[in-house]
Amino acid sequence: MDEQIDDIKTILIVDDEQPIVDILVYNLEKEGYKTITASDGITAVNMALEKKPDLILLDIMLPRLDGLSVCKRIKNSLNVPILMLTAKDGEIDKILGLELGADDYITKPFSVRELVARVKANLRKVEAVSRDNIIKENKDDKKKESKIVVGDLELDLDKFEVKVRGEIIDLTLREFEVLKFLASQPEQVVTREVLLEKVWGYEYYGDIRTVDVTVRRIREKIERDTSAPKILITKRGVGYYIAENR
């Protein structure tokens, strides 16, 4: 019984609109999650650092401290998936901005079913990464370095570390997973829909702008000239691939 209690995932809901909070609490608890709530940015940061939730639903428009600042502060201390709630389509680039590290977003008004699906997908992704780490740790005999090297790009799968031309690049987990998926099959074009399914774990075709913004964010970090990329290449109208030699 205690083990089952320990397995229950805790979700921090941060929104100053009580009706939205009530709907989210009701539906997430119905799915078996534990919920905690905060109605302003400062409380959200303090609660996240103290309670260490498994996932955070974070509104952009908050009193005391806006959601983007909250996201940045939390990500500086915790590697927790953050799903941003926004009323504006135009905020998407900021949400998934270079320095913020938000993992996902959904625009208001949203379908509760879609939001729950995205929560599950993000939690599944974290669990899959944790499982992979445990498996790697248990393979101490015959341990071989798990690395992917494609041209100037080098990924260390054990350390979750990326180097470009020998220099370590700081990527979020999602960015690392995108690069890993593409680099494991160099020169093979992968569609945005496949990336959304395989990396984000969505069981449906969600908003492919999530993929485009994340790819742009990766390029800002790994390319010398983002207007003429040499590593992460766009196949116009199709998707993306990692070039072997450019």
Please report the DSSP string for 81-148 in residue order.
-EEEEES-GGGHHHHT-TTT---EEEESS--HHHHHHHHHHHHHHHHHHHHHHHHHHT--TT----EE
Q: How far apart are CA 201 and CA 11, in angstroms?
A: 18
pLDDT in tens, 163-184: 999 999 988 888 899 999 999 9
- Mean pLDDT in order along the chain per 10 residues (246 residues): 63 96 96 96 96 95 92 89 81 58 82 90 78 54 69 90 92 88 94 86 68 90 92 92 83
pTM, entire model:
0.64
- Complete domains list, the chain, with CATH: 2-131 (3.40.50.2300), 144-242 (1.10.10.10)
Is 243 strand, coil or helix? Answer: coil
- CA 209, CA 105: separation in Å to the nearest integer? 10
Chain segment 195-226, per-residue pLDDT in tens: 888 887 775 555 678 888 889 989 999 999 99
**Is the Cβ–Cβ distance between 62 and 13 less than 8 Å?**
no
Q: How far apart, in whole angstroms, are the C-alpha atoms of residue 109 and residue 1?
A: 38
pLDDT the model gives residue 146: 87
